[in-house]
Amino acid sequence: MMTTPDKPPFDPEKKTTNLFTTGHPKYSEALYEIPGEIVKGTMRVIQFHEDLNIVVIYQRTENTKAIARPNIPEDVLQIAFYLSGHDIRVTIPGLHEPLVGNKGDTMLGAPGTRFEMEFPANQQVHGFSIHVTPAFLAQFIDKDAAPLSPELMQFIKKPGSVVFYDKRKITPAMKLVIHQILNCPYEHSLKHIFLESKVLELIALRLDQMQTGISSPSPVIITPEDKKRIHSAREILLRDMDFPPSLTCLAKQVNVNTNKLKYGFKELFGYSVFAYLREERLNRAKILLEEGSYTVTETANLVGYSNLSHFAYAFKKRFGINPGSLLKRR
């Protein structure tokens, strides 16, 4: 069983609680203020029910590093997403060395009750995390399917029996869902339905990422310098989204071989090079259509689709609606 914490990290002062009522007494939303000379910010906790909640933190450290010791029960799985910040050290008893979180990282695991987070001085940190009980997850897992990971399956069968963490990169699909959660367009009961469905979608994306990683190891070695070059390749793709270079040309531009670019790109961003490009094109198209400044044809051209029917097909396959439907809603 999981409840909204009485004393969240940094001992913040409780500012507001129960911001609205949905008719579900276990559903609540609370906003906490993080005061003090070391860390300032806010923490929002949304409790869907006793087995599931999310925590959104906006905070800034001042002129000295900050240490946090979150009070998460040992029988709760945490899925964290680092939306901003760098060099955040997570020390977990039982692991050989600290984990380091940076913007764009996601960590899934069972840290236990005694883990510690260290935030460097003078930085803005925006974090988003999901807390879910093993009992809640177990109802969705097919016993005959391939296991997600030995550690996770053991944790679900016997909560608190194992300490583990799985670190990956936030994928474009995850970014979109997180954006939708943080910018929920609904109020009251509809907000509850929308947010919980999106949180479940995010859990599914993260577990799928973990499962995919198990079955496809690769001997390709990616050095820190390779990572910088692959990040440069991503910037080129986003900059030239309407006329992107071929894979061979992109590899030459950032001075890596094609095989390393293909493997490294998927390792860092969760998608192949052009699957990532397609996701970013469609995500940008959705934002443009929601803003209502362009027609469907203009939007398709702006994101690099020369064929309108191909754009409409890809858009509906990705989001489940025709692109024109977004304009009609305005």
Task: Note the pLDDT tens digit of each residue in 253-308.
Answer: 999 988 889 888 887 887 788 888 888 889 889 888 888 888 999 998 998 888 88
Task: Provide the domain count of the chain.
Answer: 2
Residues 107 and 206 in one domain: yes
pLDDT in tens, 195-226: 999 999 999 999 888 776 543 344 467 788 88
Residue 33 tokens read as: 């203020």
Does residue 113 carry a pLDDT above 70? no
Using CB atoms within 10 Å of the CB of residue 181, give its burial: 0 to 12 exposed, 13 to 18 middle, 19+ buried: buried
Does residue 6 fall inside a structural domain? Answer: no
Residue 165 tokens read as: 């963490």
- For residue 73, what are the CA distances in angstroms to 113, 207, 245, 253, 302? 6, 21, 49, 48, 48
- pTM score: 0.58
Does residue 2 fall inside a structural domain? Answer: no
Higher pLDDT, 75 or 294: 294
Residue 292 tokens read as: 């209502």
Distance from C-alpha of 6 to C-alpha of 255, rounded to nearest angstrom: 52
Higher pLDDT, 320 or 160: 320
- Select the highest-mean-pLDDT range: 98-102, 185-189, 226-230, 325-329: 226-230
Does residue 192 fall inside a structural domain? Answer: yes
Domain coverage including residue 54: 13-215
Residues 103 and 208 in one domain: yes
Does residue 26 carry a pLDDT above 70? no
Residues 285 and 261 in one domain: yes
Residues 123 and 250 in one domain: no
Q: In CATH, what number is assigned to the domain containing residue 314?
A: 1.10.10.60
Higher pLDDT, 92 or 30: 30
Does residue 128 fall inside a structural domain? Answer: yes
Portion of the chain with pLDDT greater than 70, in percent: 82
pLDDT in tens, 86-107: 888 888 776 667 788 888 999 8
Widest CA span of the chain, in angstroms? 58
Distance from C-alpha of 61 to C-alpha of 177, rounded to nearest angstrom: 27
Residues 125 and 252 in one domain: no
Does residue 4 carry a pLDDT above 50? no
Q: In CATH, what number is assigned to the domain containing residue 139?
A: 2.60.120.10
